[in-house]
Chain A
């Protein structure tokens, strides 16, 4: 049985803002409507809806997928919400893909929304409840702890400096200055700015971290035979992968994200990618913290272990470099409404591969891009590979 091929045919996104006037339903609707408009479809053309949203705690809404359903265009339709923590947005690639590839749907609307500003006193406090209720939560851990602990271990293992890592924040915030939806684009930010920013949880400083944000992103996915009728430039899903490591996060090697490697290998195998460093032309790895971009490039096998900072220093990962990384501006620059930020990376590949990314457009004619996200207790890797070539 040959696999049914699936393409992305439309995309839309809201601005990412600190506190949105719109309700979660309205944010979802804006992005969904824009995605449908972008490819000339209406809700009548949509067979099913896929929703991505991270913890319910942000919105203070239990069963948030149900709440979001009408805003996401799912009234009277089959709708399913998936989540894998921070990995959710990019997981919507596989999630939408299997809806269509299964043969059950010809067109699905895929919507990611996050409104983090509803939570008081601060969205970050919602993260206390991600830790194990018996063995960890009584210590009153902060979300920053796990990042800081992992970052420190990564730095120590490979002898990486804060200065090496700060370059990522600078690159991405500068890239974001060209993104019309970005929250924190800064064309003139420097490494010194990052190194001099407030220490939150050493080695994590204020500008190492992506901002808490509200926003929504949507894409439209369609089956082969249908996609070509919707657009003359479908962007094909060439590979998907996901992998979840054990919940015992303190029982693993924090210097290397093996779950990302496993997710990447799953996606590369499906895409027929044998030499990822040559065959992946644009990368949108997950960058909620600057070191994560480096960590993930290594897990994706796009850099040797401990060597991703060198690629950044040499400009290889700049927008005009040999392997542009986060040309969108990433989470560090565009913002981090969790699930929406992940799907924003998939949407960015769609726009880049169609040559529609405006001021953010990478040079040349890229044919294949990879989006990746990460989440949970430093535990999940999700990967979506898109390309201009229809898979064989």
Chain B
């Protein structure tokens, strides 16, 4: 694939509530930062804009109506993907790869605090005839999956709790994170059961925020950016939307998305070549399940590695140094962009007190949440070949 780079990042938030700004004002702040970072004027230099959102998260039908103004996209090519931010990133990268677009912007945001009935809305993603009449809280779907995953992989509750402890502790070093905390494994284990085996502290809380990324082709990136983060590979996939015919133990969507991204990036041995990753941890067990699906360790190994500290910032495979969704806060459709944001900051050496030493290849992965089996993967490097020359 011809090279595509991320040359600008901007964010606003992330906070549990943002009553002082409208969603437009929240996004505008992130956009202004991203354009200043990239050194572009959106009214002149951007060829196309991609946004991600879901109508029911906004409380507005055909929400794409309201996306252009705050990103500088009025009267320009703008379209919306109903997907995670990483799907939006893929859409933007594809546009650049056609050769007809040089600079493309991706936006995602969350105003989760404005949704008063989020569990009811999530339940509306279940099949209206087969599943919804059962009136189960959609978290039960995560409980079912956690149960089967732990059964097949041998993962324990203590290992899941270790993910929570690590990620919320990591978040203490991320000034943008909303849920930094110094917890003990015991705190997690004794928190109340919500959808057994899932306990309260294993479930990420939502935060408000917006993230804007600026992408460019190689020539433009070379001209504008001293520190481009190259998208070496990107992939996305769905398993079955049906609860009746999916794998309950494996994150098949992540396996397939990773295979697509690795193929594009020329990565044969991800456990060797990926130095750090930001993966979906909407629920604690998802981080472990995803690490295994991504081929970063074998089935059943993610839990022990976490307890041993291998996935801590000073371990051999740092995972969710940002704090992940458990520590940063779950940002709805922007969650995947939050994972990318951290990878870019780390690759640029701009991650402040949580900066990892000497990293050149990182991975970002997203999942669209219950009840979906939908996710995406991106492999990023600060060197075009992957390894520092």
Contacts and interface: CB of A to CB of B under 8 A. Distances in A.
Please determine if A and B sit in direct contact within the complex, based on CB atoms under 8 angstroms apart.
Answer: yes
Interface stretch (A100-108, A171-179, A275-283, A354-362): A100-108
Given A56-B54, A98-B91, A104-B1, 20 more contacts: A3-B98, A57-B61, A62-B55, A63-B372, A65-B83, A69-B241, A75-B238, A77-B237, A78-B236, A79-B236, A83-B82, A94-B79, A95-B79, A97-B98, A101-B98, A101-B100, A127-B61, A242-B79, A244-B74, A244-B75
A313 interface: no
Interface stretch (B62-70, B154-162, B164-172, B304-312): B62-70
Q: Counting chain B CB atoms within 10 Å of each CB, which of A57, A82, A244, A380 scores highest?
A: A244
B238 A77 contact: yes
B75 A262 contact: yes
A74 interface: yes
Contact of A80 (B2, B81, B99): B81
Most interface-central of B75, B91, B93, B240 (chain A CB within 10 A): B75
A67 B127 contact: yes
B78 interface: yes
A70 B65 contact: no
Contacts of A266: 77
Residue of B80, B98, B100, B127 with highest tally of chain A CB at under 10 A: B98
Interface in B1-59: 1-2, 54-56, 59
Interface in B79-98: 79-83, 87, 90-91, 93-95, 97-98
Task: Tell which of B75, B95, B238 has the most Cβ of chain A within 10 Å.
Answer: B238
Contact of A243 (B69, B77, B80, B82): B77
Interface residues of A, number: 67
Contacts of B260: 78
24 contacts: A1-B2, A1-B99, A23-B129, A56-B82, A60-B128, A62-B124, A63-B54, A63-B82, A65-B83, A66-B372, A77-B237, A78-B256, A79-B237, A81-B82, A84-B79, A84-B80, A101-B97, A102-B95, A130-B61, A242-B77, A247-B65, A258-B75, A270-B100, A376-B62
Interface residues of B, number: 59
Interface of B: 1-2, 54-56, 59-62, 64-69, 73-83, 87, 90-91, 93-95, 97-100, 121-122, 124-125, 127-129, 235-242, 252, 256-257, 260, 264, 368, 372, 374
Contacts of A126: 61
Contact of A3 (B60, B69, B100, B257): B100
A380 B56 CA distance: 21
A79 B238 contact: yes
B62 A78 contact: no
